Structure 1
């Protein structure tokens, strides 16, 4: 059966419904598809789609999120490809769009993440499963906000995503909202992912500096340089997946963020 769907770039795609040969171009959306029970339908994933581990090992890897192997994708003959505006490279996606049904997400906040879960659930015929995930996410993040308010958690923070040069999560990002929902005020005022040196960061005087595990893999050895430049700040390593993966990982993020809040009171 043919059905039409609109993606989040306001494009209409026509697919054989429900789709039986799905390729996912984004790690967080790949994890969501498996969480929705599409173990057999997902036939291709990126080399960064590491969750769940057992599925990562057994599925065909079609390159990286920004460097797709288009010939391999063609050989798999997908009846649906699912990507994301920010994470995938426009020219490659447009080439795929000329040959296959490609559904694209465009996510900036928690409401957008939940809408994406709903829409992907409809796209792959897993509406009850996606509704239950959204129920868990909504309840969990409501509790997180309540907890931050009850404990008077109100600290300023800088969130590093890259080194060489240092880059930060700014406004109009999913990470920024994750911080705000946990009583944390982002000191970086610019939009998206601005560059900034440590001297400029010190003038913003954040209470906290978070070093994310991705996309740059910050480790213990990187903490000292930041601490020397900002001796009054608490500098911490944080799990980037819990702040930036916007699929079913948000259910796991709730418990992680509960524990993180406890460390910050």
Structure 2
């Protein structure tokens, strides 16, 4: 990989992982549009580790509080924080199971430009509808069924173009959560599922003895972490001011451009 490829793909991953516009779709589309070779499993692992580091650092106080409360709940002292911690665990299960059982099938079937364009538009429209239905509930109002509902929605994000953050925020808004509450739960859910995804990629690398370019991997991790941290900060800062419609319009525009390029033969040339 060239320095330009490393920088661009790391920034793309960092920006899109937590914005509701699909990181997996952009990581597939960027090399396709730039006529670059696929960046490979190792680099995908590196940028996922980078975004995981970013969300852990950004929510470190929340993680500390939730972990402490969860541990106390095991000893018979439940609290609002411990329930939220258990909701994060429950919300991770559906995507973890679907990924374990069907990831190979999804990787083969769902990485096409047509699929990405379609999911980008459809789930963008769903995000816009959910934004208009945003409520005022915070995470103390969430219940087990709601956490499972968001978790099932997260499993849909295994299809590129859906957006993990987009579909989980959408599900949270349909439950009546405020924008910030839905986004906070989405970001907390990102921690275990991203760790699981990174672990799966690492296992595949070890099993298949994938060659490692350590400079590219380290650079990708650092740049994606910095970009993701900044993206989380400004996304949350601007969420109530601008809502989610800027991302909806971006998704609709991107999906439309992809369909035009697809049917003009651009990706087949």
Using structure 1 for the length normalisation, give the TM-score.
Answer: 0.24
Hey, which of these two has a bigger chunk of helix by percent?
2
Using structure 2 for the length normalisation, give the TM-score.
Answer: 0.24
Hey, which of these two has a bigger chunk of strand by percent?
1
- Larger Cα-atom Rg: 1
More RCO (CA 8 Å, sep 6+): 2
